């Protein structure tokens, strides 16, 4: 089954404790991205990657890092989480690198609470 998986699904942590949210897709997609979703602000893109070793900033990259060492994986790293990073996070992937965005498949989401 074609899918995007994220782990963990729920995470409670404390300010400053480094964490990683993993994302994996089994569709051989080139394009992957991370979003955060907050009430009243909608979905905002954090980072995206057009291919292995190619990443770029979205609209809200501050406080986040990503890496793309393998085509299927695109982890999101919070080096020093702060309470304003409490949010619902989605990973997504797409099969069309040229167009980049068509038919994006989203993961189930990771709900993060930073105390």
Q: Which residues bind another protein (CB under 8 A)?
A: 4, 31, 33, 35, 40-45, 48, 50, 56, 58-59, 90, 92, 99-109
- Burial of residue 29 (number of CB atoms within 10 Å: 0-12, 13-18, 19+): buried
Contacts of 12 (CB under 8 A, 6+ apart): 113, 115
Least spacing, CB of residue 13 vs another protein, in Å: 20
**Smaller CB separation from another protein, 82 or 101:** 101
Give the span between the Cα atoms of 83 and 114, in whole angstroms.
5
The residue behind tokens 């409670």 is 12
Distance in Å, CB of 69 to another protein, minimum: 20
Smallest separation (angstroms) from another protein to the CB of 107: 6
Q: Assess contact for 5 and 23: CB atoms under 8 A.
A: yes
CA 93 to chain centre: 10
| CB 40, min distance to another protein, A | 7
Q: For another protein, which is the closer residue by CB, 12 or 43?
A: 43
Nearer to another protein, 18 or 29 (CB): 29
């Amino acid at each position: 089954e074609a899918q995007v998986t994220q782990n963990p699904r729920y995470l409670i942590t404390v300010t400053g404790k480094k964490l990683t949210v993993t994302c994996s897709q089994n569709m051989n997609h080139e394009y992957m991205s991370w979003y955060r979703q907050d009430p009243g602000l909608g979905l905002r893109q954090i980072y995206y990657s057009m291919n292995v070793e190619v990443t770029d900033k979205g609209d809200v990259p501050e406080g986040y890092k990503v890496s793309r060492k393998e085509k299927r994986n695109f982890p999101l790293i919070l080096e020093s989480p702060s309470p304003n990073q409490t949010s619902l996070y989605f990973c997504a992937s797409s099969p069309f690198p040229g167009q980049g965005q068509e038919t994006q498949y989203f993961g189930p989401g990771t709900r993060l609470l930073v105390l």
